[in-house]
């Protein structure tokens, strides 16, 4: 893949301020790609929820924002932490499931808001959640 196809931005998630910065970066990338306001809002909301999870449950980590433009145009965001992991992913993906007393939008909400969603977690090894939003043609 040539460098024209992918632009990556790596951001640390260690504090609430980092979550705010991530939201801003996702917004800027979405605008640059030309997404509608509705799609921007969906992706910002999903990214914000996943960033908070990374902070709250993973003890912090990083987000990789990758702008794709190889035929399809979109934004791919991966959240990586080295926290305790998720013992039961299926349970964690259920609507309303929350261990943190939050809104319970959680993983299931983020999954609904994104076009593609992938989660990998190993107890004691951490969690990686990837979301992608594709621009309609």
Q: What is the pLDDT of residues 50-97, one digit of tens each?
A: 999 999 999 999 999 999 887 889 999 999 999 999 988 988 888 666
Residues 6+ positions from 39 with CB-CB distance below 8 Å: 30, 133, 135
Residue 132: closest CA among 62, 92, 119: 119
Structural domain harbouring 113: 6-134
Report which of 24, 137, 23, 10 is spatially closest to residue 73, judged by C-alpha positions.
137
1 domain-assigned: no
- The model carries a pTM of 0.89
What's the domain count of the chain?
1
Q: Flag whether 74 is in a domain.
A: yes
Structure tokens given for 4: 């024209």
């Amino acid at each position: 893949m040539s460098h024209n196809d992918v632009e990556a931005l790596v951001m640390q998630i260690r504090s609430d301020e980092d979550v705010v910065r991530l939201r801003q970066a996702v917004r800027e990338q979405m605008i640059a790609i030309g997404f509608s306001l509705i799609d921007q809002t969906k992706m910002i909301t999903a990214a914000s929820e996943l960033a908070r999870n990374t902070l709250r449950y993973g003890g912090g980590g990083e987000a990789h924002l990758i702008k794709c433009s190889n035929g399809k145009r979109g934004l791919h965001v991966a959240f990586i932490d080295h926290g305790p992991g998720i013992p039961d992913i299926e349970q964690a993906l259920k609507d309303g499931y929350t261990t943190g007393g939050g809104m319970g939008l959680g993983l299931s909400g983020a999954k609904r808001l994104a076009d593609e969603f992938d989660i990998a977690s190993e107890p004691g090894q951490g969690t990686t959640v990837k979301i992608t939003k594709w621009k309609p043609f």
